[in-house]
Amino acid sequence: MVKESTSRENMNQKSLYERLGGYDGITAFSDELLPRLQGDAQLGRFWQNRGDDGIAREKQLLIDYLCSAAGGPMYYTGRDMKTTHKGMKISESDWEIFLNHAAVTMNVLQIPDQEIDDVVAFVLSLKDDIVEA
């Protein structure tokens, strides 16, 4: 019993960044999620007419943002979420589709339930800065 408690306390002391596998874990999440979003019939429009370099830069900014937000040592140099998504006309429907792809991605990567809950809580806190339409 003491062992379980100590193990649980140690887990709670680790940052979400560490619990997600650090830079490599967050990169794996991005590597799995972005092709799903880009290939989606509704969401794919956000990547139309984008060059490979622009997409690669966007992916690196996403990784940096997620690492930083999860308590990692990365410094995010991009714009805030409201500025980044302003004018994209992201709808409630787009948001729901994104959440579904993120959930599938986390399940494919076998992310533990507690970390999924923490990621979902964080992502939901961004909704008002991202959804416009």
- Chain segment 43-81, per-residue pLDDT in tens: 999 999 999 999 999 999 999 999 999 999 999 999 999
CA-CA distance, 84 to 118, in Å (whole number)?
A: 23
- Chain segment 76-117, per-residue pLDDT in tens: 999 999 999 999 999 999 999 999 999 999 999 999 999 999
What's the chain's length in residues? 133
Res. 119: pLDDT tops 50: yes
Tokens representing 25? 């874990």
Q: Which amino acid is at 4?
A: E
- pLDDT category at 6 given cuts 50, 70, 90 is very low
Domains plus CATH for the chain? 22-130 (1.10.490.10)
The pLDDT of residue 133 is 74
CA-CA distance, 58 to 77, in Å (whole number)?
A: 12
Cβ(103)–Cβ(63) under 8 Å? no
Considering the entire predicted model, what is its pTM?
Answer: 0.86
CA-CA distance, 13 to 3, in Å (whole number)?
A: 15
CA-CA distance, 46 to 9, in Å (whole number)?
A: 42
